């Protein structure tokens, strides 16, 4: 099983509905905070269920939701069937679905850990071709080399404490530890990136980039990079 296959099913990652709702509210808030506009075109690549994508769509002109899992895309299409600003696409459809040089913002939150270095290099080329001059590519929730599962546990428990789902989070951690996620994390691993290594890669691929002081979402141990065309 690959990570992409893994996500094509319900997972124990979100410990309950409240966790999932708060998570996607936070992601949408952070995307909107990049400052969109009524004509902005935005791509959320590896978007997951994007429960609060309506909020992002309300702040821009067009929102492409791209996810590798057919199950996730089916749910997105059902959820946002009435939202004319949202288009749901697979990674394979992106090349044709999105005009070159048309995107103001590409957000890739919590995806890089599931991609090989080769896959990431290919995607950087695709994202580069789709960005408009002055557009931004945001690579977020990137896992640094020095962090591991305990940092994720700490971040989840802090988020759960603030969000009022501590007991569910504790139970969810046990479920996750016994699940396919833990088995796959052991077998396939997650891809980690160093800060300097990521900045070098972005530079080599035709971007100028910097690491933001804070990460998007709830996990302060992870990194966010903002890149523009060089
Ligand atoms: C951890 S979730 C992140 C979802 C969302 N970006 C967020 O911030 O909550 C990872 C998502 O990436 C998707 N995914 C995994 N591999 C992918 C790939 N190669 N291309 C596109 N999406 C992929 C999965 O289907 C899953 O929905």
Q: Is the CB of 75 under 6 A from ligand 1?
A: no
Residue-level length of the chain? 230
pLDDT for the residue 161:
97
Pick the closest to residue 205 from 153, 137, 145 (CA basis): 137
Domains of the chain: total: 1
- For ligand 1, atom 21: residue with the closest CA: 68
13: left (phi > 0), else alpha (psi -120 to 50), else beta? alpha
pLDDT for the residue 148:
87
216 CA: nearest ligand 1 atom: 8
Q: Is the CB of 165 under 6 A from ligand 1?
A: no
Q: Are 83 and 65 in contact (CB under 8 A)?
A: no
Q: Is the CB of 47 under 6 A from ligand 1?
A: yes
* End-to-end Cα, the chain, rounded Å: 37
- For ligand 1, atom 20: residue with the closest CA: 68
- For ligand 1, atom 23: residue with the closest CA: 68
Within its chain, how far is the Cα of 48 from the centroid? 7
Q: Is the CB of 109 under 6 A from ligand 1?
A: yes
Pick the closest to residue 97 from 67, 75, 130, 122 (CA basis): 130
Q: Which residues contact 3 (CB under 8 A, 6 or more apart)?
A: 114, 184, 188
Q: Are 117 and 199 in contact (CB under 8 A)?
A: no
Instruction: DSSP for 145-171, please give it.
Output: TT--HHHHHHHHHHHHHHHT-HHHHHH
115 CA: nearest ligand 1 atom: 19
Pick the closest to residue 107 from 12, 35, 197, 20 (CA basis): 35
- For ligand 1, atom 26: residue with the closest CA: 48
CATH code of the domain covering residue 111 = 3.40.50.150
The pTM of this model reads: 0.97
Mind listing the pLDDT tens digit for each residue in 16-29? Answer: 999 999 999 999 99
Q: Is the CB of 49 under 6 A from ligand 1?
A: no
Q: How far is CA 145 from CA 148, 153, 201, 217, 221, in A?
A: 8, 16, 16, 19, 11
Mind listing the pLDDT tens digit for each residue in 128-152? Answer: 999 999 999 999 999 999 998 899 9
Structural domain for 147, as ranges: 3-229
Residues of the chain scoring pLDDT < 50:
none
């Amino acid at each position: 099983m690959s990570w992409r296959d893994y996500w094509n099913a319900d997972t124990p990652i979100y410990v309950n509905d409240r966790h999932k709702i708060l998570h996607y509210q936070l992601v949408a808030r952070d995307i909107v905070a990049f400052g969109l506009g009524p004509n902005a075109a935005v791509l959320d690549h590896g978007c997951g269920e994007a429960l609060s994508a309506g909020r992002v769509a309300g702040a821009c002109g067009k929102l492409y939701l791209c996810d590798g899992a057919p199950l996730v895309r089916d749910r997105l299409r059902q959820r946002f069937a009435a939202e004319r600003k949202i288009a749901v696409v697979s990674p394979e459809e992106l090349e044709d679905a999105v005009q070159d040089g048309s995107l103001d913002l590409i957000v890739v939150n919590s995806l890089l850990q599931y991609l090989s270095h080769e896959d990431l290099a290919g995607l950087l080329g695709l994202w580069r071709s789709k960005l408009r001059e002055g557009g931004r590519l945001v690579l977020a929730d990137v896992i640094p080399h020095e962090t591991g599962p305990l940092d994720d546990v700490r971040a989840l428990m802090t988020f759960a404490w603030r969000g009022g789902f501590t007991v569910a989070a504790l139970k969810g951690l046990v479920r996750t530890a016994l699940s396919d996620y833990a088995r796959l994390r052991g077998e396939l691993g997650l891809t980690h990136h160093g800060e300097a290594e990521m900045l070098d890669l972005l530079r080599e691929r035709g971007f100028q980039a910097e690491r933001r002081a804070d990460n998007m979402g709830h996990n302060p141990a992870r990194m966010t990079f903002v890149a523009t065309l060089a």
